[in-house]
Amino acid sequence: MTNQNKYILALDQGTTSSRAIVFDRQGHILATAQREFEQFFPRAGWVEHDAGEIWSTQSGVAQEAITRAGLRAENIAAIGITNQRETTVVWDRQTGQPISRAIVWQDRRTAELCDRLKAEGKEQTFRAKTGLLLDAYFSGTKVKWILDHVPGARQAAEAGNLAFGTVDSWLIYNLTAGALHITDASNASRTLLYNIHTGDWDDELLSLLDVPRSMLPEVRPSSEVYGETAAGLFGSQIPIAGIAGDQQAATFGQACLSRGMAKNTYGTGCFMLMNTEKEAMPSQNQLLTTVAWQLGGERTYALEGSVFIGGAVVQWLRDGLGIIRRSEEIEALASSVPDTDGVYLVPAFTGLGAPYWDPYARGTMVGLTRGSTAAHIARAALEAVAFQSAELLDAMQKDSGLDLKELRVDGGASRNDLMMQFQADLLGVPVVRPKVTETTALGAAYLAGLAVDFWPGTEAIEQAWEIDQTFEPQMKATERAARLSDWKRAVERSRGWAEADTTAAS
């Protein structure tokens, strides 16, 4: 069968669900399958997943998507994988079983360890080598926690019996029946253990976090044929040919392939990346410097701003407060009032990401009156996502010295017209939504397809990108400044809350 009759399968392993999407040569979706999986919150600030359930849901939707497309495994030219980043899995090499639940990127349990390392003057070492801040968000401190708290784990690791991986590594290990223990440069750059300048794991950082090198996956480019799925898994073996962390994959899928182009993904969290090409640009404004992708031996870098709670605030309105039954209802509810009537919601449920990096911040609602309704709260929740993103872009433009011409958007919440218009109003630049908003999966598909010559080159990706709608800014500059000022006042009231609470309790 020729490439002309084949398709690409993207596995999009997210924070709340596992998805699989089959793409054709035009980058259009042929079929999709998706399953949610359980979230565990054993203590305040702790978030965990069952890595076994991640694998079972992801392998299940992969087969389901192929079947829904009316295809068989031999019709798939390659598999591309994209994943929730920083989430940490440690498993036994002999049994292939995780030794604990996966610690999710949102988890804050290692905040005190990060504080201790900062007090010891180690943050600049991590910052210079990894481009990251020393924060509980990243994988390295999570690995150390598992080794220190799971009985027998450290001894097993030192004996070479344990493997660590972010979710991409875990999926590939299972897809290949244990034959491959690999990751790509984009995922490696989120661990606090990888030197983004040398392109390798860093012995000094491994020593500081007491993580044995033997646990680590081999770091590979983001686009190449790594191997094939295990015999019998899908009926016939399929090449695995692309890997990228979800936000880097979305940047690739948005065709932000030139310096200064930026995208924002509205998923569980909110993540804005700006392509800085070959320059690993250090941030003076609390952003991250990260590997966007690696093609061959050449790494492309990006500036990144991370918001921990984006679309997850809508899930909270649905599951926590019960003011909507389905996530899709929020736009109609929020649109039923002309504004928030002075209500501001700061969704710092797991602390604040960029540009604050405050693990002790907690969710806060201010400006409530007797006239406040569920609709005002719903609108404040949507606006909170846009406010957080506006702060990211401001920091990004200061760091890069580049003025953004437009912001490309994707992810589930980008389909919310009310939020996208408010986002354009706050930014003062056009917000552009593409026809295919599943750009995370599309980026993984592109990376895999390039490796097997399904697409001839990146020019084909740029040509395939199509606009669905452009939201032009309409808000006056004076109003924009006033709203952003009030937002920052609300944020200040959320900061340091858990820390203050701990002190009071003692």
Angstrom distances, CA of residue 125 to CA of 130, 301, 304: 8, 19, 19
Residue bearing tokens 């569980």: 268
What are the pLDDT digits (tens) for 25-79? 989 999 999 999 999 999 988 999 999 999 999 999 999 999 999 999 999 999 9
The half-sphere exposure of 331 on its side-chain side, counting CA atoms within 13 A, is 12
Residue 243's nearest CA partner among 204, 289, 190, 195 is 190
Query: Has 276 been labeled as part of a binding site?
Result: no
- The answer to whether residues 13 and 22 touch, using CB atoms and an 8 Å cutoff, is no
| pLDDT the model gives residue 89 | 97
Q: How many CB atoms lie within 10 A of CB 467?
A: 11
Report which residue type is found at 382. Answer: L
The rounded distance, in Å, linking the Cα atoms of 21 and 11 is: 7
- DSSP, residue by residue, 214-275: GGSPEEE-SEEEEEEPPTTSSSS--EEEEEEEHHHHHHHHTT--STT-EEEEESSSEEEEEE
Query: Has 85 been labeled as part of a binding site?
Result: yes
Q: Which residues, in sequence order, are bridge partners of residue 244? A: 82
Angle at 83 between CA 402 and CA 111, to 5 degrees: 75
Query: Has 311 been labeled as part of a binding site?
Result: yes
What ranges do the domains of the chain cover?
Answer: 7-246
Query: Has 17 been labeled as part of a binding site?
Result: yes
Q: Which helix (H) or strand (E) holds 384?
A: helix 374-400
What are the pLDDT digits (tens) for 420-465? 999 999 999 999 999 888 889 999 999 999 999 999 888 888 888 8
Query: Has 35 been labeled as part of a binding site?
Result: no
Q: Which fold has domain 7-246?
A: Nucleotidyltransferase; domain 5 (3.30.420)
Angle at 317 between CA 312 and CA 322, to 5 degrees: 140
3-state SS of 87-151?
CEEEEECCCCCECCCEECCCCCCCHHHHHHHHHCCCHHHHHHHHCCCCCCCCHHHHHHHHHHHCC
Query: Has 19 been labeled as part of a binding site?
Result: yes
Residue bearing tokens 């203590």: 43
What are the pLDDT digits (tens) for 77-130? 999 999 999 999 999 999 999 999 999 998 999 999 999 999 999 999 999 999
Query: Has 416 been labeled as part of a binding site?
Result: yes
The secondary structure of residue 358, as a DSSP letter, is: B
- In the three-class reduction of DSSP (H, G, I as helix; E, B as strand; rest coil), residue 180 is classed as coil
Query: Has 247 been labeled as part of a binding site?
Result: yes
Angstrom distances, CA of residue 144 to CA of 85, 136, 141, 209, 210: 17, 11, 5, 6, 7
Q: Which helix (H) or strand (E) holds 308?
A: none
Cα 301 from chain centroid? 16
Query: Has 15 been labeled as part of a binding site?
Result: yes
Query: Has 246 been labeled as part of a binding site?
Result: yes
| pLDDT the model gives residue 3 | 52
The rounded distance, in Å, linking the Cα atoms of 153 and 413 is: 40
ω into 355 cis (within 30 of 0): yes
Percentage with pLDDT > 90 across the chain: 77
| pLDDT the model gives residue 93 | 96
| pLDDT the model gives residue 4 | 59
Angle at 352 between CA 322 and CA 284, to 5 degrees: 150
Query: Has 440 been labeled as part of a binding site?
Result: no
Query: Has 187 been labeled as part of a binding site?
Result: no
> At 505, is the pLDDT very low, low, confident or very high (cuts 50, 70, 90)?
very low
Is the full-model pTM beyond 0.75? yes
Length of the chain measured in residues: 506
